[in-house]
Amino acid sequence: MKEYHPPLSGRDGLRLDFNENTSGCSPRVMAKLHAIVEDQLTRYPERELVEQKVAAFFGVQPSQLLLTNGVDEAIHVLCETFLESGDEVIIPVPTFSMYELYAQQTGATVITVQAGADFAFPAAALLSAMSPRTKMIAIASPNNPTGAVISHKDLVTILKAAPQAAVLLDEAYYDFYGVTIIPELSRFPNLFIARTFSKAYGLAGFRVGVLMGNAAEMKLVRKVSSPYNVNGVALACLEEAIGDSDYIADYVSQVLDGRRRLETELRTLGISFWPSEANFVLMRIGEKRLEFVKAMRERGILVRDRNSDPGCTGCVRISLGTLEQTATLINVLQEICGELMLSGTVDARGTK
């Protein structure tokens, strides 16, 4: 098996490396956290009532939804439910590493399909890779680390072409994109959708995710999931998080504005990047990427080296936060590009 080693130690500074909320969670969440009493900590968590409220929030039935310990567990239980040795899993790459890791744990064979030019979704190649042994397909939209999306047409084609496979659409970055496939849940029994509260909602430390699907299929998934997988403090605070729509709207607005400003600056500097539908931008720094990452850290800004991802040689990913943080980022970016003589050294792709 491959191993996943996220650089989670020594993360002091402006955290633009893990696509987290950089402002903080809703004040309503903090108020609820301070109001939790000792008795609530001595009881096993009760997930059902909160699941009903979250299901209403997403516009689905409680039988169609399972709260999970982050999207990671959603992927894990889906793999454990539908995969075994001899099955095949198709994963378009580059993408989130955990799809492959959890699929490998079941003994299934992982087939990766490289994204097309400019990281366009490889629909034709994915369809060609299908076989009767294909039992799962994992797709992130918007995708991490590219920010690219799959079209509704391509997704429907895949769902129809592989009725024997669980098709996971990971919508972790939905809040920054605004397009969802949830209305199709009743149409395709092989469709599963994952969401997280770690990004826009600022609850990464609580580890709360959601897996949605056809009620009959979700009944099978629940057999694999632990009944106490989401802790009681997270459950109590989640209700407040989804209830503060104004907070989320304001933060998302700042991120989207900041993303436009960063992309504009990258065009000006002549730095190659890929237009994104998420809260981050992937850019190609080239041979000086390590110097770039180090220089950013020395100035108090953390960014993510994505050089090891398939097709991402020389690439760095930068997350967006508040407008004030974006202004700081751009000022530092200008300084470092000047010092490392990066400006205009590669062709800008931002106009495509």
User: Would the pTM count as exceeding 0.85?
Assistant: yes
Q: Which of 218, 243, 268 is where one domain is finished?
A: 243
Does some domain include residue 350? no
For residues 122 and 253, state if they share a domain.
Answer: no
pLDDT band at 162 (very low <50, low <70, confident <90, very high): very high
For residues 185 and 211, state if they share a domain.
Answer: yes
- Give per-residue pLDDT as tens, 183-232: 999 999 999 999 999 999 999 999 999 999 999 999 999 999 999 999 99
What integer best gives the mean pLDDT of the chain?
93
Domain residues for the domain of 269 are 14-21+246-339
Q: What is the mean pLDDT of residues 118-146?
A: 97
Tokens of 43: 């009881």
pLDDT over 70 for what percent of the chain?
Answer: 94
pLDDT band at 351 (very low <50, low <70, confident <90, very high): very low
Does some domain include residue 167? yes
Whether residue 126 is predicted with pLDDT greater than 80 in this model: the reply is: yes
For residues 276 and 237, state if they share a domain.
Answer: no
Whether residue 352 is predicted with pLDDT greater than 70 in this model: the reply is: no
Does some domain include residue 106? yes
What are the residues whose beta carbons fall under 8 Å from the beta carbon of 1, sequence distance 6 or more? 101, 104, 105
For residues 74 and 144, state if they share a domain.
Answer: yes
Q: What is the mean pLDDT of residues 8-17?
A: 78
Does some domain include residue 346? no
Does some domain include residue 54? yes
For residues 289 and 169, state if they share a domain.
Answer: no
Q: Which range, of 3-7, 239-243, 332-336, averages the lowest pLDDT?
A: 3-7
For residues 161 and 268, state if they share a domain.
Answer: no
Q: Which among 309, 320, 316 has a CA at the least distance from the CA of 277?
A: 320
- Give per-residue pLDDT as tens, 53-74: 999 999 999 999 999 999 999 9
Burial of 67 (0-12, 13-18, 19+ CB in 10 A): buried
Does some domain include residue 120? yes
Highest mean pLDDT among 36-50, 149-163, 337-351: 149-163
- Give per-residue pLDDT as tens, 83-98: 999 999 999 999 999 9
For residues 234 and 252, state if they share a domain.
Answer: no
For residues 228 and 251, state if they share a domain.
Answer: no
Does some domain include residue 6? no
Q: How many domains in the chain?
A: 2
Whether residue 283 is predicted with pLDDT greater than 60 in this model: the reply is: yes
For residues 230 and 297, state if they share a domain.
Answer: no
Write down the pLDDT at residue 313.
94
Whether residue 346 is predicted with pLDDT greater than 90 in this model: the reply is: no
Write down the pLDDT at residue 65.
97
pLDDT band at 350 (very low <50, low <70, confident <90, very high): very low
For residues 42 and 170, state if they share a domain.
Answer: yes
Domain of 123: which CATH number? 3.40.640.10
- Give per-residue pLDDT as tens, 292-344: 999 999 999 999 999 999 999 999 999 999 999 999 999 999 999 988 888 66
